[in-house]
Amino acid sequence: MIIQKYGGTSVGSPERIKNVVRRVAKYKSLGHQVVVVVSAMSGETNRLIALAKEMQAHPDPRELDMVVSTGEQVTIGLLSMGLMEAGLKAKSYTGAQVRIVTDSAHTKARILSIDEQNIRNDLANDIIVVVAGFQGVDQHGNITTLGRGGSDTTGVAIAAALRADECQIYTDVDGVYTTDPRMVPEARRLKTITFEEMLEMASLGSKVLQLRSVEFAGKYKVKLRVLSSFEEEGEGTLITFEENEKMEQAIISGIAFNRDEAKITVRGVPDRPGIAYQILGPVSEANVDVDMIIQNIGVDGSTDFSFTVHRNEFSKAMDILKNQVQPHVGATNVVGDDKIAKVSVVGVGMRSHVGIASKMFRTLAEEGINIQMISTSEIKISVVIDEKYLELAVRVLHKAFDLDQEPM
Amino acid sequence: MIIQKYGGTSVGSPERIKNVVRRVAKYKSLGHQVVVVVSAMSGETNRLIALAKEMQAHPDPRELDMVVSTGEQVTIGLLSMGLMEAGLKAKSYTGAQVRIVTDSAHTKARILSIDEQNIRNDLANDIIVVVAGFQGVDQHGNITTLGRGGSDTTGVAIAAALRADECQIYTDVDGVYTTDPRMVPEARRLKTITFEEMLEMASLGSKVLQLRSVEFAGKYKVKLRVLSSFEEEGEGTLITFEENEKMEQAIISGIAFNRDEAKITVRGVPDRPGIAYQILGPVSEANVDVDMIIQNIGVDGSTDFSFTVHRNEFSKAMDILKNQVQPHVGATNVVGDDKIAKVSVVGVGMRSHVGIASKMFRTLAEEGINIQMISTSEIKISVVIDEKYLELAVRVLHKAFDLDQEPM
């Protein structure tokens, strides 16, 4: 049993939907049971949101979900028609009809449960089931949406509920790359990547898959495969949940990067228990998400405290820190910089190999790139550098870790 | 409690939806409870049908309903947002969310029941309820549509379920006229018309209201009012179910006409029992609807049998009659004419007034217009004439029955 998810560009016109029909028909003819999850036709969601904003400056979330969820509903009907025209049996379901039950957090709902019985019955009757991605229904019958990119999550959640053999995510790229090929032409498609690596790659700005869908897949042990919907052949990238399934034994899988962040440092903070909360509490109360957090050991009873926030929230965060936090905690001053970039090397091989960090730092030093912040996890090392060195840093790291070479 | 139904042109753009907001707000401020039923934005249903036809030459009815029902779903969300932006409480419902339960005849479903409890609760909480017209849900949870013009039916059905005081149908005309004002400039808006008259007017080609919604309103004694959505003031036309509520005591309410029909005559038919069924049975088996049927008494054991069909089905009906019916019943020959028009005078006053028919026939005769067929009911007289005399006939009848004058 295979779940296939097609994004907006893959179903962007009747012609493209017919391409999807041909691909689904191919898998069906190979004897698979197939459930197809689709997004709205590309541009449609934005068109609907624009209409909503003409009616209400800040559209009511429940009513916005009512309007926006029609996008996928159109696609499921059209795709089912196309499958029937090709002589196949097909049936469409909205999220509410499947009963993809979510909480009531309109525009960013979370899936609570999926009733898979109807789908199972249809599959047993040789029917291709077509499900609207991105949407569900709360316990009161209100239509909800999962937020942008939520169709991936729908695909994975259905794969988990049905215990499908594989969840194929069709997109406009043909897999996950060692880094962004637009920045490094030598970037290479990975045949496999582990979930942990994918999570780090996704959270660090690699836009192939929505982060939540990867978490979901990892949690429910769903095999994910990223494929191009515009190429007939190609095996894409398989995202595995067991390291020994990963055939490529490279130490580093890829270089991720992100230029959406800004850095803030609170200087001369008294080095005492509870200080981190006193600094970050007011920031998070203002709904500003904090990413990297660095605090070094103190000298003479005071320390510097640094963290990164999204660039859009930089000035908001600076205001809070200067006007509320600095006088309250008695810090010396608050400095910030929104011309930074974060670069990370990611790979499960790091666990068993020493020297990755020093190789990374040496490579950057040889190019005269100063490292402003460092943060590590078990499978990644991230550094913050001046934004203007981003491209250079990614290229030299990609080469230093032999990512342009097929691994042995 | 007032139910207001707005058609596609009335909600054709965000600007027009804002006009609807203003009108609804006005009624709300007068202390009414208001339920609003809306159609898809004008052009949207046709756009969706065109997309469907690109996928499948004859779109699957279930999937077509899935696609087409999104049109109203967008409008209810947008209107609710607009009402909220105006500071009012509002909540939208799809047909399935109300639970407008229909049979499973996709694209032409009939309403079986309406669960009005949620709407009542909302109204009690001062909420304006916005319902998607034209759609429902069958007992298996499939989305159904009521067929073109079905939004009127939704409005009337909800008015009946809630026992509303009035169901207001907003449209692009400001009421029901004595005849089509494009044909007779002196045509006058009627302040009231009875359901029976409206039924005759609607079935005879007056396109103001969908026939089924009028039947529905008559059955459940729902007071209907037709109003223009583009005029601030104006009382429209009230469709009453009791003749004594009709304030205007005119004998004739209007002149209806129809040029969509064709006439067929089977000549020299043996005048014996069962002959009508032998002629019309094969026609109706081919799904050809028959309208007027005329059979005169026979002469010398044989008679002529005439009827009208829709002009689009003329050649199909002629084929059946010539090839199957004529040899079978032993008729002399079959002749047809698709250049005809039907003109009818309609009015409950006919019941108590003699001489209407003779006045009609004399008026036509004075203009040299030959009457080809005559058919009468208790409140209407219809004649079939040569199509080329249609405009002339309508104009002279309108004048002869003083329809250009306000009644006393």
Q: Is residue A286 part of a domain?
A: no
CA distance A149 to A152: 6
Pair of tokens at residue B371: 């009457």
Distance CA B319, CA B337 (A): 14
Q: Does B86 touch chain A (CB under 8 A)?
A: no
How confident is residue A218, by pLDDT bands cut at 50, 70 and 90? confident
Average pLDDT value for residue range A188-214: 79
CB of A137 within 8 Å of any CB in chain B?
A: no
**A51, A57, A92 ranked by CB distance to B63: nearest:** A92
Contact state of B55 with A96 under an 8 Å Cβ cutoff: no
Whole-number pLDDT of residue A284: 85
* pLDDT at site A87: 97
Contact between B254 and B288 under an 8 Å Cβ cutoff? The reply is: no
Structure tokens at B352: 């108590």
Distance from CA of A75 to the nearest CA of B (A): 8
pLDDT band for position A203 (cuts 50, 70, 90): low
| pLDDT digits 0-9 by tens, A147-167 | 766 899 999 999 999 999 999
pLDDT tens per residue across all 408 residues of chain B = 999 999 999 999 999 999 999 999 999 999 999 999 999 999 999 999 999 999 999 999 999 999 999 999 999 999 999 999 999 999 999 999 999 999 999 999 999 999 999 999 999 999 999 999 999 999 999 999 997 668 999 999 999 999 999 999 998 788 888 998 889 999 999 898 888 888 888 766 556 777 778 888 888 889 999 998 888 778 899 988 766 555 556 688 899 998 889 999 999 988 887 888 889 889 988 888 888 888 777 777 888 889 999 999 999 999 999 999 999 998 999 999 999 999 999 988 887 777 888 899 999 999 999 988 888 888 889 999 999 999 999 999 999 999 998 876
Residue B137 lies in a domain: yes
Chain A residue with CA closest to B12: the answer is A51
Which residues of B make up each annotated binding site for ATP? 5-8, 171-172, 177, 182, 207-208
Torsion angle of the four alpha carbons B286, B290, B295, B300, in this order, in degrees rounded to the nearest 10: -20
- CA-to-CA distance for A87 and A107, rounded, in angstroms? 37
Distance CA B77, CA B72 (A): 9
Q: Is A399 annotated as a binding-site member? A: no
Residue A39 placed within a domain: yes
Q: Buried b vs exposed e over B112-130: b needs ≥16 C-beta within 10 Å?
A: eebebebbbebbeeebbbb
Considering only CB atoms, A66 lies closest to which of B57, B76, B142, namely B76
Q: How many residues does chain B have?
A: 408
The enclosing domain of B16 has a CATH number of 3.40.1160.10
Contact B70 A66 (CB under 8 A): no
Annotated binding site of B: 5-8, 45, 72, 171-172, 177, 182, 207-208
**Residue A118 belongs to some domain of the structure:** yes
- The answer to whether the CB atoms of B56 and A82 lie below 8 A apart is yes
Q: How far apart are CA A175 and CA B271, in angstroms?
A: 80
Flag if A78 and B51 touch (Cβ within 8 Å): yes
Cα distance from B122 to chain A (closest Cα, Å)? 14
Subunit contact B52:A85, Cβ cutoff 8 A: no
Nearest chain B Cα distance for residue A121, angstroms: 14
How many Cβ pairs closer than 8 A exist between chain A and B?
104
Whole-number Å distance between alpha carbons of B332 and A174: 74
Cβ distance A97 to B73 less than 8 Å, yes or no, reads: no
The answer to whether the annotation marks A5 as part of a ligand binding site is yes
Chain B residues whose CB is inside 8 A of the A83 CB are: none
Interface check for A194 against chain B (CB to CB < 8 A): the answer is: no
**A155 labelled binding-site residue:** no
Residues in A closer than 8 angstroms to B54, CB to CB, are 14
List CB contacts (< 8 A) between B142 and chain A.
97
pTM of the model: 0.79
CA distance A89 to B76: 32
| Amino acid B62: pLDDT | 98
Q: Are B51 and A14 within 8 A, CB to CB?
A: yes
Q: Is A19 on the interface with B (CB under 8 A)?
A: no
* Interchain proximity B74–A80, CB inside 8 Å: no
Higher pLDDT among residues A249 and A322, named by residue: A322
CB contact under 8 A, A82 and B55: yes
Find the helix or strand (DSSP H, E) in which B202 lies: helix B195-203
Closest CB from A66, A80, A94 relative to B60: A80
Q: For residue A354, how many other CB atoms are within 10 A of its CB? A: 8
pLDDT surpasses 70 at A243: no
Chain A hits for B96, Cβ within 8 Å: 96
Test B78 with A51 for CB contact under 8 angstroms.
yes
Q: How far B131 CA lies from chain A's nearest CA (Å)?
A: 12
Tell whether B77 lies on the interface with A, counting CB pairs under 8 A.
yes
Report yes or no: A45 and A8 within 8 Å, Cβ to Cβ.
Answer: yes
Element (H, E) at B359: helix B356-366
- The residue range of the domain holding B11 is 2-171
Q: Which residues on chain B are in Cβ contact (under 8 Å) with A62?
A: 91
Residue B72 in domain: yes
Is residue A275 one of the residues assigned to a domain? no
Is A60 labeled as ligand-binding? no
Nearest alpha-carbon partner for A194 in A250, A150, A152: A250
Task: Tell me, yes or no, if A160 comes closer than 8 A to chain B by beta carbon.
Answer: no
Name the residue of chain A whose CA is nearest to B48's CA: A74
Instruction: Return the closest-CA partner of residue A203 out of A218, A186, A190.
Output: A218
Query: How many folded domains does chain B comprise?
Result: 1
Interface contact B135, partner A, CB < 8 A: no
Residue B149 region, left (φ>0) first, then alpha (ψ -120 to 50), else beta? left
The residue with tokens 């219809």 is B382
B positions 41-60 inside 8 Å of A (CB): 48, 51-52, 54-57, 59-60
Residues of B in contact with A20 (CB under 8 A): none
pLDDT in tens, A123-137: 999 999 999 999 999
Residue A388 marked in a binding site: no
Q: Do A66 and B80 touch (CB under 8 A)?
A: yes
Asked whether the beta carbons of residue A74 and residue B67 sit closer than 8 angstroms, the reply is yes
d(CA B386, CA B363): 15
ipTM, two decimals: 0.78
Contacts of A81 in chain B (CB under 8 A): 52, 55-56, 59-60, 63-64
| pLDDT surpasses 70 at A206 | no
Dig out the tokens for A155 from the structure: 């695909």
CB spacing of A78 vs B67 below 8 angstroms: yes
- Asked whether the beta carbons of B38 and B168 are under 8 A apart, the reply is no
A207 is known to lie in a ligand binding site: yes
* Residue B77 to residue A57, Cβ atoms within 8 A: no
**Is A348 a domain residue?**
no
Order of strands, sheet of A302-310, starting from the edge strand that comes earlier in the sequence: A290-295, A302-310, A261-270, A333-337
Contact A208, A171 (CB under 8 A): yes
Q: Do B59 and A51 touch (CB under 8 A)?
A: no
Does residue A71 fall inside a structural domain?
Answer: yes
Locate A367 and state its tokens.
């190019």
Predicted confidence (pLDDT) per residue in A77-112, tens digit: 999 999 999 999 999 999 999 999 999 999 999 999
Both tokens assigned to B127: 């909420």
What is residue A105's DSSP assignment? -
A205 is annotated as contributing to ligand binding: no
Interface test with A, best of B15, B66, B67, B99 (most A CBs within 10 A): B66
Q: Does A86 touch chain B (CB under 8 A)?
A: no
Which of A49, A74, A89 has the highest number of chain B CBs within 10 A, making it the mutation to test binding with B? A74
Q: In chain A, what percentage of residues exceed pLDDT 70?
A: 95
Alpha-carbon distance B405 to A170, whole Å? Answer: 69
Q: For testing the chain A interface, which of B53, B56, B100, B131 should be mutated: the one with the most A CBs within 10 Å? A: B56
pLDDT for A333 equals 92
- What sign has the CA pseudo-torsion A165, A171, A175, A180? negative
DSSP character at residue B172: S
pLDDT for res B203 = 63
Secondary structure of A211-249 in the HEC alphabet? HHHHHHHHHCCCCEEEEECCCCCCCCEEEECCHHHCCCC
Backbone φ and ψ of A298, nearest 5°: -80, 155
Q: What is the pLDDT of residue A163?
A: 94
Residue in chain A nearest B63 by alpha carbon: A77
**Rounded distance between C-alpha atoms, residue B218 and residue B156, angstroms:** 10
Q: Which residue of A has its CA nearest to B17?
A: A55
Beta strand A111-114 pairing with A100-102: antiparallel
